[in-house]
């Protein structure tokens, strides 16, 4: 698969050599605060996840987010990952997930640009009709990024998750191909 280019980033296929970095992110409590991750992960678990991910259809595999480090236009640095999974082939609908694991790169517009790049890929290359996501009530940064990328609030799954000793509301947001074309 060729790289997918956004305004200031690119997305590439995940490699086995990315596993140590993924493992560092997934074990960082701050990074996974608003993700469905609660147990410590080791190399064995991450390698198992990697094999299962690579066995999925190519459109549903994890992509790595790369950006230019500050002060360089020719180097790339890995900051996170994203994926469409699973695709509902009949409805042409898919859930999207994103994790920027390098915290120094939060709040710089990359999350928004990743969503825009994935929307363009999903609607213009994969012929999807709906891209949707779940976001915790406790994650206003993510909700803002998704809104900036054109996602709209659909509804709330009440007390759908449990973390830190309490139930949490989870919001559903989506963007349709028709919204994308209008934007």
Ligand X SMILES: CC(C)(COP(=O)(O)OP(=O)(O)OC[C@H]1O[C@@H](n2cnc3c(N)ncnc32)[C@H](O)[C@@H]1OP(=O)(O)O)[C@@H](O)C(=O)NCCC(=O)NCCS
Six token digits for residue 46: 């991450």
The CA-atom distances, in angstroms, between 101 and each of 141, 167, 182 are: 14, 25, 32
Binding segment for ligand X among 3-11, 39-47, 124-132, 134-142 (CB under 6 A)? 134-142
Indicate the SS3 state at residue 130. Answer: strand
- Measured from the CB of residue 43, what is the shortest distance to ligand X in angstroms? 21
Contact between 37 and ligand X per CB under 6 A: no
Contact between 81 and ligand X per CB under 6 A: no
Binding segment for ligand X among 9-17, 50-58, 132-140, 163-171 (CB under 6 A)? 132-140
Binding segment for ligand X among 14-22, 96-104, 153-161, 171-179 (CB under 6 A)? 96-104
CB 111 within 8 A of CB 98: yes
CB 60 within 8 A of CB 80: no
Six token digits for residue 10: 């690119």
User: Which CB atom, from 59 or from 161, has the smaller least distance to ligand X?
Assistant: 161
Contact between 99 and ligand X per CB under 6 A: yes
Binding segment for ligand X among 57-65, 100-108, 158-166, 172-180 (CB under 6 A)? 100-108
User: Which CB atom, from 112 or from 128, has the smaller least distance to ligand X?
Assistant: 112
Distance CA(90)–CA(88), nearest Å, equals 6
- Compute the radius of gyration of the chain from its Cα atoms: 16
Contact between 63 and ligand X per CB under 6 A: no
Distance CA(162)–CA(14), nearest Å, equals 30
What is the contact surface with ligand X in residues (CB under 6 A)? Answer: 31, 34-35, 80, 98-100, 106-112, 135, 139-142, 144-145
């Amino acid at each position: 698969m060729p790289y997918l280019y956004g305004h200031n980033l690119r997305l590439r296929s995940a490699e086995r050599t990315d596993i140590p970095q993924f493992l560092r992110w997934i074990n960082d409590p701050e990074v996974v605060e608003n993700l469905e991750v609660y147990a410590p992960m080791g190399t064995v678990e991450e390698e198992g996840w990697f094999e299962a991910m690579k066995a999925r259809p190519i459109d549903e595999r994890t992509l790595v987010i790369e950006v230019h480090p500050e002060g360089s236009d020719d180097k790339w640095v890995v900051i996170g990952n994203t994926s469409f999974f699973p695709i509902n082939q009949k409805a042409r609908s898919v859930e999207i997930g994103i994790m920027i694991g390098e915290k120094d790169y939060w709040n710089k517009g990359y999350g928004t640009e990743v969503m825009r790049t994935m929307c363009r890929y999903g609607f213009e290359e994969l012929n999807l009709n709906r891209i949707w996501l779940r976001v915790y009530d406790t994650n206003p940064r993510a909700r803002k990024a998704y809104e900036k990328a054109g996602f709209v609030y659909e509804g709330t799954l009440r007390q759908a998750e449990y973390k830190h000793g309490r139930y949490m509301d989870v919001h559903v947001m989506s963007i349709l191909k028709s919204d994308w074309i209008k934007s």
